[in-house]
Amino acid sequence: MQERKRLERTLEDDHKIVASLSDLDTLFELAREGENVNGDITRELKSFSEALESVETAMLLSGENDARSAIITIHPGAGGTESQDWAEMLLRMYLRWAERKAFNTVITDRLEGEGAGIKSVTFEVNGENAYGLLQSEIGVHRLVRISPFDANARRHTSFASAFVYPQIDEEIKIDIRADDLRIDTFRSSGAGGQHVNMTDSAVRITHFPTGIVVQCQNERSQHKNRESAMKQLRSRLYEFELEKKQEAARKTEAAKADINFGSQIRSYVLAPYRMIKDHRTKLAIGDVDRVLNGDIDSLIHAYLVFRKTGKTVNNDKDDLPE
């Protein structure tokens, strides 16, 4: 059924593009005859360009796990409340983006910051191609703004890290020995009702050979939290093994695109000027609010093109200061 839906969407996209081309041909013919259709041509070209970009993005998702759902973790960098608030802003941006895409999201673990923001968060983005699209977000995100937490209204720079894992289903066998695991239960630390706060329903799983730790506390049932934590662990172990196999290839490709956790991939500047710039693709966007409200499709598309071809974006705003 999933394959059928994918094929139906492909056919539907093809029909839309053919129809748009036909409409544009008609409008240009009317323009040659002296009709005032410039506004219609502008609107149709914008719609046509967006449709082509969407199709191109889908074609660029050819990786083994690109079609899978995703698990995202966000951690603030040093800087206390300032960075924790930035981590929450990133979370909001991704949740808004997922809502635009009609993807289902589930926050499995969230640790609130002291005063504002979050100390860490893990959440699922469930939908076709979620992992392939969100790979563009792996790395460190830098924010420059006038701090709302500084009484002297000084400019602050904050960092937050994001990492994305593919959700691994039961079809891919991951060998997890019971002897290699330590499973701890504890009371949920988040907001919730009496049952959540009064029972040891939250689950933390430690995998001794790799040192990977996952936890889940959003469900009332300890069994469901354990099931969700095991899903996270399978995904983390799968990614861990891929990382080991691809280490040599990563070193070779490092000059093309450094996408390792800990690399600064994008700057979000809110003061003294307003601009978002991706340091890999060189794409710069002046409408900061639109991006922070979840419209990151142009950033994702530019990254996928860059990953495939190594080509950066020709952007008139590239010469703005960092």
CATH code (residue 164): 3.30.70.1660
DSSP state string for 138-151? -EEEEEEEE-TT-T
* Helical H segments across the chain, by residue range: 2-32, 38-60, 81-100, 130-134, 194-198, 222-245, 247-253, 288-292, 297-309
Q: Residues 303, 159: one domain?
A: yes
Residue 88 is given by DSSP the state: H
Q: Are 217 and 188 in contact (CB under 8 A)?
A: yes
Q: Residues 75, 163: one domain?
A: yes
DSSP state string for 198-262? HS--EEEEEETTTTEEEEE-SSS-HHHHHHHHHHHHHHHHHHHHHHHHTHHHHHHHTTT----TT
pLDDT of residue 241: 79
Q: What average pLDDT does the segment 170-176 reach?
A: 69
CATH code (residue 192): 3.30.160.20
Does 205 map to a domain? Answer: yes
pLDDT of residue 97: 97
In three-state secondary structure terms, 157 is strand
Q: Residues 212, 298: one domain?
A: no
Tell me the residue range of the domain where 160 lies: 70-169+254-309
pLDDT of residue 292: 97
Band (168; pLDDT cuts 50, 70, 90): confident
Query: In the predicted model, is pLDDT for residue 95 greater than 50?
Result: yes
pLDDT of residue 98: 97
Does 39 map to a domain? Answer: yes
pLDDT of residue 78: 78
For 243-300, the pLDDT digits (tens) are 776 664 455 344 333 434 446 899 999 989 999 999 999 999 999 999 999 999 999 9
Write out the H or E segment, with its range, that includes residue 284.
strand 284-285
Of 245, 267, 292, the residue at which a domain comes to its end is 245
Of 192, 211, 245, the residue at which a domain comes to its end is 245
Of 245, 265, 297, the residue at which a domain comes to its end is 245
Q: Residues 129, 258: one domain?
A: yes
pLDDT of residue 254: 46
Q: Residues 160, 118: one domain?
A: yes
CA 286 to chain centre: 20
Q: What average pLDDT does the segment 185-211 reach?
A: 74
Query: In the predicted model, is pLDDT for residue 174 greater than 80?
Result: no
Query: In the predicted model, is pLDDT for residue 318 greater than 80?
Result: no
pLDDT of residue 319: 41
Q: Residues 151, 261: one domain?
A: yes
From 9-23, 90-104, 182-196, the region with the lowest mean pLDDT: 182-196
Q: Are 38 and 24 in contact (CB under 8 A)?
A: no
Q: How far is the C-alpha of 270 from the C-alpha of 146, rounded, in Å? A: 8
Count of domains observed in the chain: 3
Q: What average pLDDT does the segment 293-310 reach?
A: 92
How many other CB atoms are there within 10 angstroms of residue 310's CB atom?
11
Average pLDDT, the chain: 84
How many other CB atoms are there within 10 angstroms of residue 321's CB atom?
8
* 19 or 98, greater pLDDT: 98
Does 221 map to a domain? Answer: yes
Q: How far is the C-alpha of 29 from the C-alpha of 84, rounded, in Å? A: 56
Does 260 map to a domain? Answer: yes
Does 317 map to a domain? Answer: no
pTM over 0.75: no
Q: Residues 139, 96: one domain?
A: yes
Q: Residues 161, 86: one domain?
A: yes
Q: What average pLDDT does the segment 150-163 reach?
A: 88
Dihedral in degrees, nearest 10, Cα atoms 251, 252, 257, 260: -20
Q: Residues 86, 15: one domain?
A: no
Q: Residues 76, 124: one domain?
A: yes
